[in-house]
Amino acid sequence: MERRALVRNIFLAGIAAALPLKTLLAKGNKTNTSSGRPFHRFQLGALELTVVTDGYLAMSPVQPNFAPDVPPEQVAGLLQHSFRSTKEIDLAMNVLIIKKDKQLILVDTGAGNGFGANAGWLLSSLTDAGIQAGDITDIVITHAHPDHIGGLLDAQGKRTFPNAQIHLSAIEHQFWMHAASQDFSKSKFTDKAFLQQIIQGTKQTLTTLHDSLHLFNHPSQLFGCIRLELAAGHTPGHTLVHVYSDDEELVHIADLMHSDVLLFPHPEWGFFGDTDFSQATLTRKKVLAILAENKKTVFGYHLPWPGIGHVRANNDAWEWVPQAYAIPG
């Protein structure tokens, strides 16, 4: 997908609450019938965790979406060294579900109807994992970008998860409800017209869901199994979700990392979608150092399926060590 097309899709997802997208996006019409897609389920202490896919975003060209200020031969060289395409970077959309007794907690909601046929698979993926939309009791939002909140409303602007309470950072809520395009002056994403439309769409979504919205501060805890930590840069209220039970912990790093092979060895190369490019780099380095030190299990929303692994120090930077599985599921 060309960058322009991706940006357009982000915009369309952002206005999901405002317009009947099915009339705008012929390719966006998807059925929610079960597809038989695999899901990944495992125990974390007393919790049952499930990972499902919302699909993927193909980002092309690689630059300037990634590493906008780096010589192209360096970026292409690292991709080739990693046996990856130099034409595009596929971003997974891994969605985590936490089951604690009768509580079923979704972390982010995927892209919804605005990103075309390769995204917005969440409902059918949940069905494949034996979960219905009405079963979800709570939703924790890591940040309010359209590929994370797009699934909150359907194409008609109605709530996808009718029984869910929604938990969002107070900083994030404040930012989007009052944002203007100049608030993105430290980002490499500079198309002001599109930014304005994303802002409008996000405001509309948050306003529509106002009655179910619960704003949290950092740090804080939820449900006796979640600790919320501010990791600003990608957005001002971008939140890490620590999931814990007994002595076990998994750290959901949300959008700290958008590429395994580029940003672990070069966190400073950066990503165009970061609201504050420099702050995102500083936060990325700080969090990677801690994760490498404490060796905690990590979950990345955009890292290759199912997004689970560890961070290891490597020379002056880091590398991603994905969890390996002997069998599917």
Instruction: Please give the backbone phi and psi of residue 82, each rounded to the nearest 5 degrees, phi first.
Output: -95, 10
Least separation in angstroms between residue 43's CB and Zn ion is: 27
Least separation in angstroms between residue 13's CB and Zn ion is: 11
Alpha carbons 314 and 316: distance in angstroms, whole number? 6
CA-based end-to-end distance of the chain: 30
Alpha carbons 225 and 250: distance in angstroms, whole number? 10
CB 136 within 8 A of CB 104: yes
Least separation in angstroms between residue 271's CB and Zn ion is: 10
CB 232 within 8 A of CB 238: yes
CB 8 within 8 A of CB 114: no
Least separation in angstroms between residue 1's CB and Zn ion is: 15
Q: Both tokens of residue 168?
A: 């969002």
* Nearer CB in complex with Zn ion: 145/173: 145
* Nearer CB in complex with Zn ion: 147/260: 147
Least separation in angstroms between residue 250's CB and Zn ion is: 18
* Nearer CB in complex with Zn ion: 141/164: 141
Least separation in angstroms between residue 113's CB and Zn ion is: 16
* Nearer CB in complex with Zn ion: 255/274: 255
By C-alpha distance, which of 290, 286, 292, 311 is closest to 300? Answer: 311
Helix, strand, coil % in the chain, rounded to nearest 5: 35, 25, 40
* Nearer CB in complex with Zn ion: 147/274: 147
Starting from the edge strand earliest in sequence, which strands make up the sheet with 239-245, in order? 220-222, 226-230, 239-245, 248-252, 297-299, 308-314, 317-322
* Nearer CB in complex with Zn ion: 148/167: 148
**The residue count for the chain:** 329
Alpha carbons 239 and 255: distance in angstroms, whole number? 9
Least separation in angstroms between residue 134's CB and Zn ion is: 26
* Nearer CB in complex with Zn ion: 154/255: 255
Q: Which residues contribute to the site for Zn ion (CB under 5 A)? A: 147, 255
